[in-house]
Amino acid sequence: MAKKAPSLMETIVSLCKRRGFIFQASEIYGGMGNTYDYGPLGVELMRRTKEAWWNSMVTERADVVGLDSAIIQHPKVWETSGHVAGFSDPMVDCKKCKGRFRADKLEDARCLERPSKQPGQCGGELTEPREFNLMFKTQVGAAEATSSTAYLRPETAQGIFLNFKNVMDSARLKPPFGIAQIGKSFRNEITPGNFVFRTREFEQAEMEFFVHPDEDVKWYEYWKAKRFAWYTEYGVNPDKLRMREHDQSELAHYAKATADVEYEYPFGWGELEGVANRTDFDLKRHSEATGENLLYFDPQTKEKYTPYVIEPAGGMNRTALTFMIDAYEEEQLEKDTRVVLHFHPEIAPITAAVFPLVKKDGMPEKAQEVAAQLRKARFTTFYDEKGAIGRRYRRQDEVGTPFCITIDGDSLSDDVVTVRHRDSMEQDKVKISELVTFLIEAKSNWKRPEKKE
């Protein structure tokens, strides 16, 4: 029987493990469900994804500042926000196998009596659905008399609302302005995760943009357009992206409107980012719960108001996964096939690979010198002297390295190297003294190639 070709997701998962992007967490202990560790290439991919978001949302803007709030906040925060009462999934227990499953996803249930790869429930009688809160709980403080239940944050947004006044006052801001944050959030997820698409801990990137209540619709439209464009700027195929407006029945209790940027994954359309009009719900709730004045007073108009909030909120792990899936190509060449990740050069985990053409005649030493020069200029640089040059190119194509730099006889005599471009496979001769400038230029001139699909 012919072996079934692996699906694109299986291929990506396997590439991630083999080349050191993503490993299952605690793999040597049998693994930890819905939890992953990022290897040498994965951590660089994540660093660049977060940096690209921060550059676009904070550094390049005059009207947004950053924040980094704690994961374990005062427990009352989550009562006020509605998470203690409402952040839950409906669960049923099976009286036969004693398993607990999401009532709305019974087709994904994995019976405890036959925990095979095949989902399905054993047919036992089910209890009525009960709500199961997705927040992780812990105990804070040492003395039993004074310790209290606290929660790992399920979203970073509340940390921003808590600091609204402190940030506005210390940074002397007035609406419209935003506060942005990237950090870990935690959800006790039960449903299968599609690799790193849905995990128990994940890096959220959220920005709360505070505006005059009369201007919420304008800014909602602004941020929807802005965030959609960000993905295409980093090379994501616009034909695989769509903006989907939620209908009334889908809206969260705090939202006046929400739209999702969705991507067409191998497992179907999925949410990449949400843009929500959260109104003045959160600031008002926290003000009521604490008695703190969370209003903005406009010294010009003498108007006092609670700002409305437009929130673009995405997941950085999901974004990095999307960059990877979208960049993947098995490209038919004249004589063979190559696997290539067409990452945007700002996103690629390794920026430059340096090869001596052969392992003799001083070429390795010269290549090490060039590699050291690139590292000093803070390019993530990989040195490789093993195997045929064509094979070394292919190994870098597979992890998306945009530039391969080869040192040959000419390099020793004329200080000239060959730069080979990942997407076009074209080559340029470049003087070593001009290499850093050449690469910076080439990075900024990058265009997404047409994939032959």
Footprint (CB under 8 A) of a second copy, residues 70-109: 70-74, 76-77, 91, 93, 98-100
CA 405-409-411 angle, to 5 degrees, is 50
Q: For 408-433, give one letter per residue: b (16+ CB within 10 A) or e.
A: beebeeeebbbbbebbeeeeeebebe
Which residue among 11, 69, 194, 237 contacts a second copy (CB under 8 A)? Answer: 69
Q: Say which residue the tokens 């006020």 belong to.
A: 80
For residues 153 and 137, what is the distance between their CA atoms, to the nearest angstrom?
10
Which residue among 52, 126, 157, 162 contacts a second copy (CB under 8 A)? Answer: 162
Exposed / middle / buried, residue 288 (Cβ in 10 Å: 0-12, 13-18, 19+): exposed
Contacts (CB under 8 A) with a second copy, residues 360-379: 368, 371-372, 375-376, 378-379
Give the nearer residue to a second copy in terms of CB position, either 77 or 430: 77
In the complex, least distance from residue 302 CB atom to a second copy, rounded to whole angstroms: 19
Question: Are the C-beta atoms of 45 and 67 separated by less than 8 Å?
Answer: no
Which residue among 6, 14, 27, 120 contacts a second copy (CB under 8 A)? Answer: 27
Give the nearer residue to a second copy in terms of CB position, either 237 or 368: 368
Is residue 20 near a second copy by the rule CB under 8 A? yes
Tokens of residue 180, six digits: 């942005």
Give the nearer residue to a second copy in terms of CB position, either 217 or 339: 339
Question: Are the C-beta atoms of 138 and 152 separated by less than 8 Å?
Answer: yes
Which residue among 190, 340, 417, 430 contacts a second copy (CB under 8 A)? Answer: 190
In the complex, least distance from residue 440 CB atom to a second copy, rounded to whole angstroms: 12
352-356/403-407 β-pairing = parallel
Beta bridge partners of 338: 331
Tokens of residue 400, six digits: 């998306």
| Spatial CA neighbour of 275 closest among 189, 196, 216 | 216
Sorted by sequence, the CB contacts under 8 Å of residue 443 that are 6+ apart come out as 345, 346, 351, 402
Is residue 383 near a second copy by the rule CB under 8 A? yes
Contacts (CB under 8 A) with a second copy, residues 210-269: none
Beta bridge partners of 132: 89
In the complex, least distance from residue 65 CB atom to a second copy, rounded to whole angstroms: 4
Is residue 388 near a second copy by the rule CB under 8 A? no
Which residue among 6, 33, 120, 123 contacts a second copy (CB under 8 A)? Answer: 33
**Contact region for a second copy (CB under 8 A) — 52-60, 322-330, 409-417, 441-449?**
52-60
Q: Say which residue the tokens 């340029």 belong to.
A: 428
Which residue among 1, 5, 28, 333 contacts a second copy (CB under 8 A)? Answer: 28
> Rounded to 10 degrees, what is the CA torsion of 77, 82, 86, 89?
-60
Contacts (CB under 8 A) with a second copy, residues 319-358: none
Give the nearer residue to a second copy in terms of CB position, either 156 or 258: 156
Q: Is the peptide bond before 176 cis (omega within 30 degrees of 0)?
A: yes
Give the nearer residue to a second copy in terms of CB position, either 201 or 331: 201
Is residue 113 near a second copy by the rule CB under 8 A? no
Give the nearer residue to a second copy in terms of CB position, either 220 or 343: 343
**Contact region for a second copy (CB under 8 A) — 47-55, 295-303, 418-426, 430-438?**
47-55
Tokens of residue 339, six digits: 């696997």
Give the nearer residue to a second copy in terms of CB position, either 141 or 266: 141
Which residue among 1, 2, 5, 142 contacts a second copy (CB under 8 A)? Answer: 142
Which residue among 48, 200, 344, 366 contacts a second copy (CB under 8 A)? Answer: 200
In the complex, least distance from residue 249 CB atom to a second copy, rounded to whole angstroms: 26
In the complex, least distance from residue 22 CB atom to a second copy, rounded to whole angstroms: 10
Contacts (CB under 8 A) with a second copy, residues 289-318: 289-290, 292
The widest CA-to-CA distance across the chain, in whole angstroms, is 80
Torsion sign across C-alpha atoms 31, 319, 105, 186: positive
For residues 134 and 48, what is the distance between their CA atoms, to the nearest angstrom?
29
Q: Say which residue the tokens 């959030």 belong to.
A: 185
Which residue among 1, 2, 3, 30 contacts a second copy (CB under 8 A)? Answer: 30
Which residue among 7, 14, 59, 433 contacts a second copy (CB under 8 A)? Answer: 59
H or E segment to which residue 298 belongs: none
In the complex, least distance from residue 234 CB atom to a second copy, rounded to whole angstroms: 16
For residues 101 and 109, what is the distance between their CA atoms, to the nearest angstrom?
6
